[in-house]
Amino acid sequence: MNQSEFIWQNGEFVAWDDAKVHVLTHGLHYGTGVFEGIRCYDTERGPAIFRNLDHLDRLERSAKLYYMELPYSAQQLRAATHELITRNDLRSCYIRPIAFRGYGQMGLNPLDSPIDVAIAAWEWGAYLGEQGKVDGVRAKVSSWERISPRSLIPHAKASGQYLNSVLAKIESLKAGYDEAILLDEHGHVCEGSGENIYVVRDGVIITPPQTASILDGISRRSVLQIARDLGYATLERDMARAELYSADEVFLTGTAAELVPVREIDDQAIGSGKPGEITRVLQNAFDDALHGRSERYREWLDVVDVREWASA
């Protein structure tokens, strides 16, 4: 990976190689951590973090769901991130804040373990490949069911929960696909291993609702708003597996992936087998919003004042 100079760890800036944890860290053994994935873009106004406070708000909510009280406020984490980007001299990067139960006690009761917080930022290219963004990716419906709200908390972005995504991802890669699509126990479509999913049919954009076992994606909220602003009909409702194969278009969204067309699922071509027209329009509009080229969505950008932090 593209290393940067510093990582922020528990209130201090440490050299990348010095950001370490003990092997008996609670979160390492039991997955007791929550995290975020955020992107910063090189815009005309400087490095700008996309919906930073919305991500930090989700981090706090994920923490609460696992009985963790973060020792830093969203504003403190925001300031730390701005300073980190400045110190690392980054223009566009991926940002990974993580809060986890640290070293102290072993055993399943985490309540006496400290809560460690770190933020890393580094340059990270196209998650599903540059070609994937252009030509679309090939996906496989996973044999692994998406985690159920009866066992875990699909709405939390918690470390341990990602074992589910990891199994699905490995299965899809070993079978020669780029990405996995997970269904729930009723066979309803949930999401990709790290992205929300949408089908387009007869001009309507359909995506599973927030009550499905999905992460409440921030890219999802943004793309749905952009779609409505552009005058498209959107529908949030349960989705049957068959709707994937008979869709005119399918695409995925996520912070790391951004907006990626899906051109084939389980060896069935989607539409013409090429990225669809509505997918293209939304991909371009979302890209404009991310990169600060869109006046309308300016308020989504948290611009890093490099001069302010350089003098801090």
* Residues that bind ligand PPE in the complex, under the rule CB under 6 A: 37, 165, 191, 194-196, 215, 217-220, 253-257
290/52 Cα distance (integer angstroms): 12
289/252 Cα distance (integer angstroms): 17
Residue 179 and residue 244 in contact, taking contact as beta carbons nearer than 8 Å: no
Which residues sit opposite 42 in a β-bridge?
Answer: 47
- Which is nearer to ligand PPE, 113 or 250 (by Cβ)? 250
Residue 2 and residue 123 in contact, taking contact as beta carbons nearer than 8 Å: yes
Could you say which of 20, 64, 140, 157 is catalytic? Answer: 157
Residue 257 and residue 194 in contact, taking contact as beta carbons nearer than 8 Å: yes
CB of residue 58 to ligand PPE, shortest distance in Å: 7
Q: Which two tokens stand for residue 122?
A: 């580094």
- Which is nearer to ligand PPE, 113 or 301 (by Cβ)? 301
- Which is nearer to ligand PPE, 26 or 51 (by Cβ)? 51
- Which is nearer to ligand PPE, 113 or 146 (by Cβ)? 146
- Which is nearer to ligand PPE, 1 or 23 (by Cβ)? 1
172/144 Cα distance (integer angstroms): 10
Nearest Cα neighbor of 78 from 292, 302, 312, 299 is 302
Residue 83 and residue 309 in contact, taking contact as beta carbons nearer than 8 Å: yes
Residue closest to ligand PPE, measured at CB: 37
Q: Which two tokens stand for residue 132?
A: 């994937």
Please confirm, yes or no, whether 157 is among the known catalytic residues.
yes
167/162 Cα distance (integer angstroms): 9
CB of residue 253 to ligand PPE, shortest distance in Å: 6
Please give the positions annotated as active site: 157
